[in-house]
Chains A and B, each alone.
Chain A
Amino acid sequence: MTSATVSTRAALVVPALLVVALALYPLAFTLPFPRHIVIMALLFATMGTAWNILGGLAGQVSFGHALYFGIGAYTTAYFYKHYALSSLVTWPLALAISAAAAAIIGLPTFRLRGHYFVLASVFIMQAVYIVVSNWSTLGAAIGLELPVHKAADWVDAVWHLQFHGSKLPFYYAALALFVAALVVFQWIRRSRLGLLLNAVREEEDAARSLGVDTMRYKLVALVISAAFTTLCGMFYAQYVLYVEPVSTTSLIVSVEIAFVAIFGGIGTLWGPALGAFVIIPLTELLRAYLSGRIALGMAGSLVDGGVLDYLKYYAAGGGGQLDILIYGLIIILIARFQPRGVLGFFRRLD
């Protein structure tokens, strides 16, 4: 055996163990909340990894990915609410719309470079939000609620993708999406497409002068990236059963997706996953265990409290968001000292 095959095998061992651990997790933790945290983390890890195809490999930083998430969420919600057709049936339609949107947006905006592209993605995101939140067919600002269906048997459950509220099917679906995203990301990165995207990222002008159709490859990256994001949007709609503009098709969601990847390590395989699995559980747990307790403990008005009470009150969102303050500080520090993200602390070269 050559050392190459040995190291390839070794390189697969850790990820394999990780996947097995994740697969066993819900069997060990049977309560809904612990499962929910990991489901959300997997969802964001998937979207972050997908985003990374465009952002990390192709070097095109987009703050417009919530559009594709929204396409998935709203397609599912609309057809399920009005025609009782779940994602099982509508996924091709959603992916088609997603690809079309990617093309329509990619063609004009990929001509832009640097800041102009990033800002274009922001403006398009805002424009989409305005349209969606005013579009009555999609429920406008109120959104769409997916009706609950009590499945008669397991076939019925799968058809409707509703499992009496059990989280297990959703968990494994999310895990499958995550693994698929990782596999696709790594495959692209090691393939000819990856080399071309590398060229686009590092030296676009040089590539073009060599006759490379950079527009085409950027579009391919975007379509693949968008496709995964759309699938996640469909998942979200089936999982939460309520779709509205702010939590699906807004700039905030776009930033959350991008941030997970950038925080963890843009351009790396495990960066987004690391980012997602740090940030999501942290936020969820802090909110679950702190916000209520502090809200209960404080007397409402800032009566007689010492500095600590003040801080606690504010931390609970009372004055506001001590946690977000720290969040912002961390972002600044990372950008200043370790722009490669958290993973950058563990790698010298990527």
Chain B
Amino acid sequence: MTRIVKLAAAALALAASAALAQTNEIRIGVMMPLSGPAAKSGQETLEGVKLAYDIVNGSFDIPLPFAKTQGIPSKGGAKIRLIIEDHGGRPERGSAIAERMITQDKVHILQGAFHSAVAAPASQVAEKYGIPFLTGTSESPALTERGFKTFFSVTPTANDIARDFFTFLAELSKEKGVPLKSLGVIHVNDNWGSSLAQASEQLYKKYGFEKLSTISYAAQVADLRSEVLRLKADNPDVLLQASFDADAILAMRSYQALAFTPKAILAMGASFATPDFIKAMGKNADYAFSHTKFDAALIQKRKAAAQVSKLFEERAGRPIWDAPARAFTAALVIADALQRAKTLAPEDIVQALRETNIAGADTISPYKGVRFNEKGQNVLANGLITQIQGGQHYAVWPQDIAVKEALFPAPAWDKR
């Protein structure tokens, strides 16, 4: 009798391992805007994601976890297969795509979506099915405020960005003895830009500002005259800005033409630090601050940054920048969770994500690390602030990443 039982057990074990060997892939659903106004950013962000998983799946000599191994070691070297779809910025597509990826493609985890308005309904679908949804790029604080069990955000939210700005300004103000009382915010009127305005409204008083003027402009604006005239009339001490590349140049030129010089201009995102911007503005680009989550300065502080940037450049035609770098980091967070997860069942992956504890040094991002609170938000997320000096941008904050000291306040245009 026992011999039959042993034989049966052996046969079962054989069958089980054969089954395991067949599910030798892990499917990750990725949704990004590959068409529509954010197409270019979406495509490059996707390249960041693809690069990360290629590194995981292959063997690379980079000082990153999973670089040298092939696939996810604890899951029998299972390789990651990406299922990608374009959502074009429309929320209803987000939910449809999530549902299809879960029910038809049977993905283990979802990643996306760049647009917070798409991540919201898509992650609702994921929550319903119990499939984890991880974002490295959608910054709306509302996403984690929902307290979903399966939603995780690696990236700092707009609230974190505003907090970074205000902390930085408070430090500068104290250090240089320049009081800052009034704040201006100019932003493109979409989800991304508005969240900066909202966050500023909530936080400005706490950091000692007395007056706030907020100006928004339509994403596809023909000119910025009214906006800049208004700013000049309000005359804030410092200006926070959320603009796209094209508007950034138009805005700066208008500030110049109307002799509007706030003591500091701080831009969210990379638009005030692009080569085009610097070329277009020349020496008038100097003094502008940018809040970003990737910068060349990181190359000194993050061992893998240089190599990753080079690999990215081979694929996308330019060095890695903010959004793709964040997506890259998020992908590695997923790989880490997959490694630690007991099995590939959704609950186990979710549990592993909850227990994530990655050191910032093991990523290419300036975060202190990756650790999620009970709402799924990475509490160790932060950005870095760069400033353009002499036509180059240098990290100036936080102190452990800074390579130069910040120049503040900015002199008037004609005195440069």
Contacts and interface: CB of A to CB of B under 8 A. Distances in A.
Interface stretch (A91-99, A152-160, A234-242, A271-279): A234-242
B218 A130 contact: yes
B142 interface: yes
B2 interface: no
B190 A33 contact: no
Given A300-B47, A300-B315, A164 B92 contact: no
Contact of B190 (A36, A141, A292, A318): A141
A287 B189 contact: no
Contacts of B97: 288
Contact of A40 (B35, B85, B92, B124): B92
Contacts of A133: 189, 218
A301 B35 contact: no
B194 A301 contact: no
Interface in A125-143: 130, 133-134, 140-143
Nearest to B37: A246
Main secondary structure of the interface of B (DSSP, over half): helix
A309 interface: no
A305 interface: no
A31 B105 CA distance: 11
Contacts of A141: 189-191, 193-194, 216
Interface string B82-108: 111110111111111101100110000
Given A32-B99, A32-B103, A317-B86, A143 B316 contact: no
Contacts of A142: 116-117, 140, 142, 191, 194-195, 198
Given A236-B92, A295-B46, A296-B82, A134 B127 contact: no
A138 to B, nearest CB: 12
Interface in B39-58: 39, 43-44, 46-47, 50
A31 B104 contact: yes
B48 to A, nearest CB: 10
Contact of A240 (B44, B82, B91, B314): B91
A130 B217 CA distance: 10
Interface string A23-41: 0000000011100100010
Interface string A234-257: 001001111010110000000000
A242 B129 CA distance: 18
Nearest to B194: A141
A148 interface: yes
A241 B91 CA distance: 9
Interface of B: 34-36, 39, 43-44, 46-47, 50, 82-86, 88-97, 99-100, 103-104, 116-117, 120-121, 124-125, 127-129, 140, 142, 146, 189-191, 193-195, 198, 216, 218, 314-317
25 contacts: A31-B103, A32-B103, A33-B99, A40-B92, A133-B218, A140-B189, A142-B140, A143-B117, A145-B120, A165-B99, A165-B129, A236-B92, A240-B91, A241-B124, A242-B117, A242-B121, A247-B91, A287-B86, A288-B97, A292-B83, A295-B43, A300-B50, A300-B316, A301-B314, A321-B35
Given A33-B104, A242-B120, A291-B84, 17 more contacts: A33-B99, A33-B103, A36-B99, A164-B128, A165-B128, A240-B121, A241-B95, A244-B191, A247-B92, A292-B85, A295-B43, A296-B84, A300-B50, A300-B317, A301-B316, A317-B34, A317-B43
